[in-house]
Structure 1
Amino acid sequence: MCQHQPPCPTSDSADREAARLVAHHPEQGWSLLCNGVLLFEDTGELLPDGQIIAPHRPILAMTAA
């Protein structure tokens, strides 16, 4: 799928989010990566094979003042 050199990470690799943007629609909350991954603003993902990756934002530690 990717024609870049060096090629983008594949959709099944751990660093798949490092692929180049093909389409970016922040007003709709999603981006399409070169490897076919749909990346949503909540950090959820939809892989080309239909697999859903749940949002994985870092959890901020609550500190008592």
Structure 2
Amino acid sequence: MCPSCPHTPPCPPAYAHDHEAARLVAFHPEQGWGLLCNGVVVFEDTGELLPDGRSLPTHRAPCARAA
């Protein structure tokens, strides 16, 4: 649970395996990023920036090849 999260149920913390389930509290599509309630910045390429400054690489599913 996020210590300052006002949502019910509370958003998962930034370092939980399901941290992406937190609610979006700021969204800037023109810049390609959003801020989750738990302090994680998510980017449109699926990369992430954790509150401690560590980055997580993009994690898109591989595209299926046309037959």
Fold shared per TM-score above 0.5? yes
2:48 matched residue in structure 1: 45
Structure 2 portions without partners, runs of 5+: none
Identical-pair percentage: 64
Write the distance in 2 (CA, Å) between the matches of 1:2 and 1:49.
18
RMSD: 0.9
Question: How many pairs align?
Answer: 64
Q: Distance in 1 between matches of 2:66 and 2:31?
A: 33
Equivalent in 25, 28, 40 of residue 22 of structure 1:
25
Per-residue CA deviation, residues 1-37 of structure 1 (Å, 9 max, x unaligned), is 3121211011001111110111000010000000000
* TM-score where L is the length of structure 1: 0.91
1:39-65 deviation digits (Å, cap 9, x = unpaired) = 00000000001110000011012132x
Instruction: State how far apart, in whole Å, the 1-side matches of 2:63 and 2:30 are.
Output: 25
| Local SS of the residue matching 2:39 | coil
Q: Secondary structure at the match of 1:31?
A: strand
